Structure 1
């Protein structure tokens, strides 16, 4: 797979404060790459350096195997922080101005408006748009020059649940068209639903990187309840049980790697016990994220 972005030793200091420390990362073509981290972790600073808004203190990065240049950056669309448009101009007029600034054809405007589902509101003034519509217009503007890569910094920040869902579906649609997306967020659920890969930053340091599909792998935990007095003893007798604890009125059984919830269910059934509640629980990105942070 082709490497779109390669980061080596990227560092940014603000006086005594080190915002990003020796960051090494690679993003491959077609990935939806999530950058996760609490406030102050260095996500926005990193994106600012990648877009040429902020100069690195040390380290380097390449886009498509080449050092960043003005021509290369035309292949990259970005929505950084809060989008800025003229409030008394329509969505259409704002995009026409942006197309002039970016020196890209105005013919692209109907296409991007349709993609972000704003064609029906293109002639309305920007100030009448909801927060979600404003964010979608910003994404439309970032796509005007038909970039290969789209960078989104906290794209769902401040949105209501419907707005978050709209941006999520739009991100999936853009990714399905073949674009590489780099997305910074602190909303773990959104990253798990949208991204293919993710990295975790803490105080400017990279502490984890890998595929989202790896989340939840490993030992399963099964939540069990049954109307028998000796359930705890039965669960301990199961050869696949690694550990048991009681939580929220249920037994939480952590299984050994080669065992699954169906094996435990079969074991109980063979003992004459029918579970009234048996749910296999995969590790969520939130739980994994908190574990990663606590380890560092």
Structure 2
């Protein structure tokens, strides 16, 4: 796939503190790439370096196979921190200023407002906007130059559940139009719903990179209930079960890779046990994230 961003051995030090340590990553065209990590992991620092807001200590990065330049940055729309708009100006007037700064045509303003569903509020002053509307206007400002890449730092930070859902759907819509999106977030569930690929940073170090689809693959867990006194003993004899745990009146069975709930159900039926509840539980991004952090602690 065509490379949009290539990071090689990127490092940023502040005195004795290493905020980003020898980071290497590839982001391909069309991906929605999530950068995850606890506070202080180097997410925002990395994005700041990529946007030339922060000077790197060493290493290099390339946009579209070329070193960063003013011309190259025109292909990138970004929200690195909470954007500053004039509260006494309307959304349209604020975006006119943004367009002038970015050298973008003012004809891009209305399409951008329409995309974020603020066209009917374009003449309202910014100070009258809700937090969710302000965040959507921020995304509109990043879309003004019709960028090929969008960089979003914590795009749903501080929003209520409805606002989070609105921004999530907006990101999906933008991605479906072919734009590459790179976002930093700590909301793991939202990343799993939006991103195609992700990496995990911890104290500036890359500890994992892969596709979101891979998270739910591999060994699965099955939650089951059965009105049979021998269920625990029978489950213990199943050679495809890696682990069996009792939680209240339910059992959680971790199965080998490739073994399904149907296989487990057939085994139990063959032993004369009928289950009343059988649900497959796939690994969540949150669970893998916590496992990765735990492994890195023990490394």
- TM-score (norm: length of structure 1): 0.98
Show the counterpart of 1:283.
283
Measured in 1, the distance between the counterparts of 2:21 and 2:237 equals: 49
Deviation at 1:186, TM superposition (A): 0.4
CA distance in 2, matches of 1:40, 1:167: 24
Per-residue deviation at 1:12? 0.6
Correspondence 1:223 to 2:223: yes
Q: Cα deviations across residues 94-152 of structure 1 (Å, max 9, x unaligned)?
A: 00111111111000111000000000111000000011100100100111011100000
Deviation of 1:258 (Å): 2.7
Counterpart CA distance in 1 for 2:80 and 2:249 is 46
Per the alignment, residue 22 of structure 2 pairs with: 22
Q: Which runs of 5+ in 1 are unaligned?
A: none
1:251 Cα deviation after fit? 1.3
Give the 3-state SS of the residue equivalent to 1:24 in structure 2.
Answer: strand
Aligned to 2:112: 112
How many angstroms apart in 2 are the aligned matches of 1:223 and 1:121?
48
Instruction: Give the CA deviation at 1:247.
Output: 2.4
SS across alignment from 2:67: coil
Partner Cα distance (1:288, 1:178) in 2: 28
Give the aligned partner of residue 131 of structure 1: 131
* Residue 271 (structure 1) shift: 2.6
Pairwise CA distance, 1:248: 3.9
Q: Secondary structure at the match of 2:275?
A: coil
Question: How far apart are residue 196 of structure 1 and its match?
Answer: 0.2
1:236, CA displacement in angstroms?
1.9
Distance 1:66 1:56 in 2: 17
- The 3-state SS of whatever aligns with 1:200 is strand
Quote the offset at 1:254 in angstroms.
Answer: 1.1
1:168 aligns with 168
RMSD: 0.9
Measured in 1, the distance between the counterparts of 2:258 and 2:219 equals 8
- Separation in structure 2 between the aligned mates of residue 105 and residue 255 of structure 1, nearest angstrom: 57
State the match for 1:267 in structure 2: 267
Distance 1:18 1:249 in 2: 49
Unaligned runs of 5+ in 2: none
- Structure 1 window deviating more from structure 2 (240-249 vs 92-101): it is 240-249
TM-score (norm 2): 0.97
